[in-house]
Amino acid sequence: MSHAPDVPEAGSEAPNLDFAGTTPYEDYVQADVLTHLQHPRSDDPGEMVFLVTTQVMELWFTVLVHEWETASRALREDRIPVAVDALKRSVRELEALNASWKPLGQLTPAQFNSYRAALGEGSGFQSAMYRRMEFLLGDKSASMLVPHRGAPRVHAELEKALQEPSLYDEALRLLARRGLPVPAEVLGRDLAQRYEPSQAVEEIWAGIYREPGQHTELVRLGEALTDVGELVWRWRNDHLVATRRAMGSKTGTGGSAGVAWLEKRAAKNVFPELWTARSHV
């Protein structure tokens, strides 16, 4: 006996199941595209986990760039509450990004080696969206554009980001507009260079934190930036630990220094004066 498909009765609360083409959900989310972007190059089942987790990280990088560009624009327009809201959202997103290490953090060397060759010269430091994240955090380096010379659109986007103020540059410019004595050499620095700590900026942040009643908005901004900085530090350390566990001190994929390079990165704080100023409050 054949059965006709269930069709919701008129006026019922059942969802509409009959669409002429793809579903509105598919049209919006593009799930079919996302779930067919995985093309493992080995027979090891663990490679699928590595590939999907890495792709998820790239999506979180994209969201974080969006949030930090939103915050930068809001600071430029003196809209601190809008900037703080974007930074607070990015904290939750960083927590989700950092959790992406959990599926990879338990890899043994043998498990990683079973599909490591499939990566070839591929390495995370070649991620253009991650590089845009780092540039927004003030960690600029023109040499990091070199891997992207073969992709004109990506290279142009990175070159633009290299020359633009970082999130922290915009915060310091806002402090100057509020009448705080940010040095001219900080405000007029070469934006394509890595941000270097300033004792004068440290003293400004210390003064803001010593008198929170007079600088309520700026303290909120400072704390939101510090929350971001803490989770970026945790991301770098989780990356370091996962790499140590999977491959020890061997040369990294793509010829990078592997653990040695990650150790150097993990030792650095973004928004440095927000950390050192606390010793003087």
Q: Is 218 helix (H, G, I), strand (E, B) or coil?
A: helix
Annotated binding site for substrate: 116, 253
Annotated binding site for heme: 239
State the residue for tokens 């995370």. 124
Q: Residue 76 in contact with residue 82, Cβ under 8 Å?
A: no
Cα→Cα distances 1→4, 5, 147, 217, Å: 10, 13, 63, 71
Q: Residue 138 in contact with residue 169, Cβ under 8 Å?
A: yes
DSSP string, 67-131: HHHHHHHHHHTT-HHHHHHHHHHHHHHHHHHHHTTTTTTT--HHHHHHHHGGGTT--GGG-HHHH
Annotated binding site: 116, 239, 253
